[in-house]
Amino acid sequence: MHQVESAAPDSSSVVAGRKLAKPGPWSEVGVQADLLWGSCQGSGKTPYRVSIDTMAPAYRCSCPSRKFPCKHALGLLFLWAEGQIAETGEVADFARSWHEARQNRAAAKAEPKEQTDEQRAAAEARAARREDRVGLGLAELERFIADQLQEGLGAHTSDRPARLKRVAARMIDAQAPGIASRLRELAILPQTPDWPAKVIDEYGSLSLLAKAWRGREKLPDDLAHVVRQRIGFTTRTQDVLATPALRDRWVVLGMTEADEEQVSVRRVWLWGRDTGQRALVLFFSAGGTGFDTNLLPGSQVDADLHFYPGTPRLRAAVGTRHAEQPKATGWAMPGGDIATAATELRNAVVADPWLTTWPVAIHGQVAANDQGFWLVAETGLLLCGSQNDLWRLLAETGSQPVTVFGELSAAGLRPLSFLTEGRVRVL
């Protein structure tokens, strides 16, 4: 049950999943080895077909939800966890075809294709063309920002969102999706009193990014990687997996999800018990394919992590998994003080000037007053995030000193989990 709940993208999905955890809406239900399947009658004529690989775990549902796993998959998992689904000899067709396709993809991944010289040359030419396009696109962006500055931010304010969206579209053409995404966010900035500060801050950051791209050859390698990544260049996972690994007992401390344009992104935070290294593993899902993740909050995995290039070293891909524990226990997580966490954030921003949040663990007491929730460790640090999570944090810690893990930013600390009696409690 705990693992099913941990797999849910948010608490509302757990609630929705539980509502479906009764036999009524289900038909064609079965389980065979690691494959679990069922058809769930929703409001439409055709039932949603759910297939789950319980070992991976991996999920597939024909519903249009962008949450992964969706409420149907969670409902089926709850039913299964309650022992209400019997082992059956015959696998439903839809589950079999999904399972076979997964196996084929896994086999294809296991045997990477050797590139021919021609293919390599073509790839290099494509990469060079993209760099040119990005260069032209960023030059256009710099002209746009200069024009905006010359006009003054106070002019044509009502027209700004449309202009920003147009430039964002040009950045997509220029194959700079990272820039396009930032411009689109700026276009929907609410008209709060501090909007001019936010706009000029972002213009400055984008201008710095364009400048850094122009001078990339003079940048240290790590910073050049950061610039590429912020613009939207990707690094192939197989290339990352080919780099040296860091083995540790990684504790999964939290998970957040967000929709970014056509893609949903799941961010999973890990902390190495032996090295103290922090890591961020990203999972992407597009077009209803679901996240293929088996890192459940609160669990521990003894695994090799391979870090993406760039600084500070944070984003990683999971390589070989040596052992797993459904619950991390007996761990005294090293929580620092607020000043140390602030220094860590500062150092991270120095290394990557576009970075906004940094994972930290702070030892303190949770308090609530008229101004909000605070983590008190000599001084008080404002806590941010969902009110429900913050009340839960206060209720469950009872203001006892605990180590709180979360994302630190200028908005405060967004708690994702805390450690009590050697166990990770995920919010």
Give the integer Cα–Cα distance in Å for 177 and 198. 21
Segment interacting with other proteins, rule: CB under 8 A, options 19-27, 49-57, 118-126, 170-178: 19-27
Kindly tell me which of 8 and 95 has the beta carbon lying closer to other proteins: 8
Contact by Cβ (8 Å): 365, 376: yes
The CB-of-403 to other proteins minimum distance in angstroms stands at 16
Q: Is residue 298 at the binding interface for other proteins, with CB under 8 A as the rule?
A: no
Binding mask 85-114 for other proteins (x = CB under 8 A): ------------------------------
Give the integer Cα–Cα distance in Å for 124 and 102. 30
Contact by Cβ (8 Å): 327, 378: no
Identify the residue among 136, 219, 240, 355 touching other proteins (CB under 8 A): 355
- Nearest Cα to 314, choosing from 209, 229, 420, 201? 229
Angle of helix 117-151 relative to helix 195-214, nearest 10 degrees, comes to 140
Identify the residue among 18, 96, 216, 247 touching other proteins (CB under 8 A): 18
Contact by Cβ (8 Å): 298, 426: yes
Phi (first) and psi of residue 126, to 5 degrees: -60, -40
Token pair for 396: 């469950």
Segment interacting with other proteins, rule: CB under 8 A, options 153-161, 214-222, 228-236, 294-302: 153-161
The CB-of-106 to other proteins minimum distance in angstroms stands at 34
Token pair for 58: 């991996």
DSSP three-state, residue 203: helix
Residue with tokens 């059956």, as numbered in its chain? 88
Identify the residue among 44, 45, 371, 421 touching other proteins (CB under 8 A): 371
Identify the residue among 137, 232, 412, 415 touching other proteins (CB under 8 A): 412
Give the integer Cα–Cα distance in Å for 76 and 8. 12
Q: Is residue 422 at the binding interface for other proteins, with CB under 8 A as the rule?
A: no
Identify the residue among 204, 215, 276, 326 touching other proteins (CB under 8 A): 204
Q: Is residue 22 at the binding interface for other proteins, with CB under 8 A as the rule?
A: yes
Give the integer Cα–Cα distance in Å for 9 and 68. 6
Kindly tell me which of 126 and 198 has the beta carbon lying closer to other proteins: 198
Identify the residue among 242, 321, 400, 423 touching other proteins (CB under 8 A): 400
Binding mask 154-173 for other proteins (x = CB under 8 A): xx------------------
Kindly tell me which of 135 and 353 has the beta carbon lying closer to other proteins: 353
Binding residues for other proteins, rule CB under 8 A, total: 66
Q: Is residue 388 at the binding interface for other proteins, with CB under 8 A as the rule?
A: yes
> By CB neighbour count within 10 A (0-12 exposed, 13-18 middle, 19+ buried), where does 281 fall?
buried
Give the integer Cα–Cα distance in Å for 76 and 396. 29
Q: Is the Cα torsion angle 133, 134, 135, 137 positive or negative in sign?
A: positive
Kindly tell me which of 153 and 223 has the beta carbon lying closer to other proteins: 153
Identify the residue among 44, 64, 83, 152 touching other proteins (CB under 8 A): 152
- Nearest Cα to 47, choosing from 64, 27, 65, 29? 27
Q: Is residue 139 at the binding interface for other proteins, with CB under 8 A as the rule?
A: no
The neighbour count for residue 422, using CB atoms within 10 Å, is 11
Give me the residues that bind other proteins (CB under 8 A), please.
1, 14-16, 18-19, 21-24, 145-146, 149-155, 196-197, 199-205, 207-208, 338, 341-342, 345-346, 349, 353, 355-356, 365-369, 371, 374, 376, 379-382, 388, 391-392, 394-396, 398-400, 408-413
